[in-house]
Amino acid sequence: MALFGSQRRLENALRSKVRLIVPADPGREQLLAAVQLYDPRARRDGDKIGVESGSVLLTAPTEIDAETARRAGLPPGMSAVYFADVPEWRARHRR
C-alpha cells in the first residue's frame, strides 16, 4: 500500500489509471512469460516489467482488498493490480 498511502487513493487509481487487474498475483516469472507472448523482447527491470520499445512498463503488484475492489466497481475475486506506465498514451492524452 506504500505506493498509494490510502485505500481512497488506491480506489481512485483503480478507476482511472491504465492497469492490469488479475484474480491473484501470478508471480514475476509467469507475468513476464505472459508479457513475452505480446513482445518476446520484454524483460524484468527490478520489480517492474518493460518491453524493449519502452512503450509499456508494469509496476510491481499491489494487493486489493475485497472492500476496495467493490467500491472501485471491480468484479468479485480481483485481488491484485499491476499499474501500467504507457508513455506514448500519456503523451497523447496530456492536456
21-37 pLDDT, tens digit per residue, is 889 999 889 989 988 98
Contacts with 53 (C-beta within 8 Å, 6 or more apart), sequence order: 39, 41
Q: What is the mean pLDDT of residues 68-82?
A: 91
- On whether the pTM is more than 0.85, the answer is no
Q: What is the reported pLDDT for 1?
A: 43
Residue 88: all three cell numbers together: 506514448
Angle ∠(31,34,36) on CA atoms, nearest 5: 110
Q: What is the mean pLDDT of residues 25-50?
A: 88
Instruction: Please say if the pLDDT value at position 5 is more than 70.
Output: no
Q: Which residues sit opposite 85 in a β-bridge?
A: 57
Q: Where in the chain are the domains? A: 7-93
